[in-house]
Amino acid sequence: MEIVVTNESDIFVFAIRGRLDAVTVPELEERINQWFEQSGTKLVFDLDGLDYISSAGLRVFLTTAKKMKARDGKLCMARLRDNVKDVFTISGFIALIPAFETLGAAQDALQ
């Protein structure tokens, strides 16, 4: 798995590539926890490169959503592949974390 974090104005984008499963989840959790130590309140997960997500991966998204709500932040996802979008839809997470077709649309939603 590869995680690239960028910052455009006050919106942070976590671009995730590869597989998000029990083996790779700790790396993502560490990066997100480091980000939470800062004072950011706007976060986009760019999932264009995410090939697979397990229940362990979903847990990271749920935990992040709860933390963002507690700090009155904004969180969304962008560019989900069909198979990943299916997992978010079936699990009900798509109702918790808004998803957008493009990265630009996700960033606009957080303004």
H helices of 2-99, in order, are: 25-37, 55-70, 82-91
Mean pLDDT score of the chain: 96
Distance CA 98, CA 44 (A): 10
Number of H helices, E strands in the chain: 4, 5
How would CATH label the architecture of 2-109?
Answer: 2-Layer Sandwich (3.30)
**Residue 9 — pLDDT band, cuts 50, 70, 90?**
confident
How much is the average pLDDT of 68-83? Answer: 96
How much is the average pLDDT of 77-101? Answer: 96
